[in-house]
Structure 1
């Protein structure tokens, strides 16, 4: 379980999910794993930033939500460019966690859930350096 009293080290990005409104993927990994880079590529495909590098997570009504700390809202660190403004959402429901790894991932993994603030959220392990990483996140979220 992850406590929401401290900011959670992750990047959250969201897309419109039909009539369900904005649904977010929480990108987690070690510093330098590629969270912001993958988020930037998703934003290039029409997704919106919720928070870069740190987000506040909380459970409400059996769902998990992410919001950005006010101090960094609407801003993203782009390696090689610095901090830049981006279109952002104030809040989004998290429906997918993506654990970024460098190296091979299981070809046909069994479904895995991660408990965050008492809410079970599907977990996808992904190497963000793959050309198909953006599409894999989009497909995983669309399947939920």
Structure 2
């Protein structure tokens, strides 16, 4: 009986100590989102865009429809948020994050801009892909 209990206890301990790749990947994604938040809050739109796939295949879906490509998405951000006052302070709240496959993840959350001229807020769903070992947003639907 003692031998059985010891084996069970050791099995539980060893199973708890195994690294979980999904947890690591989701933590990496959350870290990228926090880096984006920090870049936004210093009016660094190009730094903010580092979280996105730098490609013409990037999709951004917002209130004005679909924008294709990293450069076009950056241009839209610059037009909508031309200076730090317009940008305000960004805060992300993650509502759900899930690894869908070894190299694909989804994050759903809320964004909130605190601004002198009136706050803005909405929700987002992000499709992430691991490209060359780096997680990047390949599709962003923000409203």
> Which is richer in helix?
2
> Which is richer in strand?
1
Larger Rg over CA atoms: 2
TM-score (norm 2): 0.31
Question: Higher RCO, 1 or 2 (CA under 8 Å, sep at least 6)?
Answer: 1
TM-score (norm 1): 0.31
